Amino acid sequence: MLRFITDLKFTGNVTRRLLVVSVITSLILFGSVSPSFATVNFSATLPIAGSPINPVYNFEKSFYIDYPAGSKLQNILQNKNMTISFTDNSTNNAAVKTFMDQINTDIASNEHSTAIMTNLVINYQFAVNGYSDHASFDYKIVLIPTVTDYVLNQPSGDIPETFDASWMAFNASAPVTITTSQYGPIEINYPIDSIRSQLPDLYNALKGTTAYGVFQHPNLMDATGLFSQQPLDKWDNLFDPAYTLSETAGYGYKGQKIAVTTFSSGQSEIGAGALNVNNIDEDFTGAGGIKYHISTKEQADAGTINVQGHANPNQVQGGWTFATTAQAAAGISNTTAGGTSTMTVYGMAGFAAVIAVGIFWWSNRMMKREKDRKPDEPWGPMQYEERQHWADKFDGAPSDAGDTNTIDQPSSPDDKSKRSAI
């Protein structure tokens, strides 16, 4: 049996200190925006030269159907493991080119953008996995277009260069049928159509149910949430001018490169507001009155845009743009696009680290002083507490059966299993 000297008051103080330290450490380590998989996860880099770019749209959505034993859907889906995937482009496939032309029409007519997609690569994947009590349907579409003509005006004097951003939030609302060499024609934009062509038995079983509407309603390739959920001027943004400052040459920066302003979205916060996700979770009735359950899983739309230069978002006639200059504007060369000094950001991170180190030092010092405390001091003498081996707390077997100061053991098998799972 291990025996440790403890003091209840001292233990509480240490616990509070460790809590404070852990909070500060979390802010230091996880203060940045974490990437997340979403209905659409978008990334792009806009070079100040205005050359053609290859942004990436990653559309994902998952559906789940729960079914009881012996039901029709279980008979159809249990042990069903199927993956359909293909990659094609607008140069080699006329159907992909037709789809690209549909996007260009939406960009011009609905987004009022002059940008044009000149090539398009599609990566499509539809996976079905059936188990004894449920099945999952996972859709993933990655679009990699080549975009040109997104520069609205060149810089002149005090006038910055302007990039069009409204083309990024297009919506492909029409069905998109791609003829593939492996599977023939596949409609990729509406989930119900892939079920109709690849799982006709399931399609017929879902017709007339609420689940049919869940699969039928949403088109997968809709990027309008990029700006509708979080307007571009609410995105997190940071401009770091280190590459352009001659004082940083000693650290490997030459003072010659063009700095980049990074914009990112995808997490709820006070300034940007909450992000809404339209996940579905409901029951439905199939043939014979059998009860089933359907749910969907998606996250909020997310994006990362790197704009060369010192960039700021603007709204022009309802469309979003970036105004950027190769060098930061006079007087704010060390300022983020959000208005906070870059050195202030670095200073805050350093200050938080100093505070964390100080708390660790202070806590260690107090621990040494408490260890040497005399028994007759006002808050009482040292107390002894019996300690178990850590494994005993989970397995329910005390290290010393004759010890009466050990913690209570699980009172039932259920309690034991719950504690063991911690």
Encoded amino acid at 280, one letter:
I
Q: Which residue has the higher pLDDT, 24 or 83?
A: 83
What does the pLDDT read at residue 346?
57
- Could you tell me the maximum CA-CA distance found in the chain, to the nearest angstrom? 90
Per-residue pLDDT at 338 exceeds 80: no
Torsion angle, alpha carbons of 93, 144, 299, 188, to 10: 0
Per-residue pLDDT at 3 exceeds 60: no
What does the pLDDT read at residue 407?
42
3-state secondary structure 290-330: CEEEEEEECCCCEEEEEEECEEEEEEECCEEEEEEECCCCC
Band (320; pLDDT cuts 50, 70, 90): very high
Q: Quote the percentage of the chain above a pLDDT of 90.
A: 49
Buried b (16+ CB within 10 A) or exposed e, 296-318: bebbbbbbbbebbbbbbbeeeee
Q: What is the mean pLDDT of the chain?
A: 77
Per-residue pLDDT at 222 exceeds 90: yes
What does the pLDDT read at residue 13?
47
What does the pLDDT read at residue 108?
94
* Helix, coil or strand: residue 51: coil
Sign of CA dihedral 221, 57, 167, 313: positive
What does the pLDDT read at residue 400?
46
What does the pLDDT read at residue 279?
84
What does the pLDDT read at residue 229?
81
Instruction: Report, as an integer, the average pLDDT of 53-59.
Output: 97
Per-residue pLDDT at 284 exceeds 60: yes
What does the pLDDT read at residue 379?
54
Per-residue pLDDT at 336 exceeds 90: no
pTM value is 0.68
What does the pLDDT read at residue 363?
77
Per-residue pLDDT at 311 exceeds 50: yes
Per-residue pLDDT at 243 exceeds 80: no
Q: Which residue has the higher pLDDT, 363 or 293?
A: 293
Q: Quote the percentage of the chain above a pLDDT of 70.
A: 66
Instruction: Report, as an integer, the average pLDDT of 368-394.
Output: 54
Query: Cα angle vertex 338, ends 335, 341, to 5°?
Result: 30
Span 199-215, pLDDT tens digits:
999 999 999 999 999 99
Q: Which residue has the higher pLDDT, 379 or 391?
A: 379
Per-residue pLDDT at 181 exceeds 50: yes
CA distances from 184 to 180, 193, 373 (A): 5, 13, 81
Torsion angle, alpha carbons of 97, 98, 103, 107, to 10: 100
Cα separation of 72 and 209, whole Å?
A: 14
What does the pLDDT read at residue 381?
53
User: Residue 374: which region, alpha, beta or left (left: phi > 0; alpha: psi -120 to 50)?
Assistant: beta
When mean pLDDT is compared across 89-93, 102-106, 257-261, 413-417, the lowest value belongs to: 413-417
Q: Which residue has the higher pLDDT, 275 or 32?
A: 275
Q: Where are the domains of the chain?
A: 40-232+275-322, 388-420
User: Residue 327: which region, alpha, beta or left (left: phi > 0; alpha: psi -120 to 50)?
Assistant: beta
Band (223; pLDDT cuts 50, 70, 90): very high
Q: Which residue has the higher pLDDT, 267 or 96?
A: 96
Per-residue pLDDT at 115 exceeds 80: yes
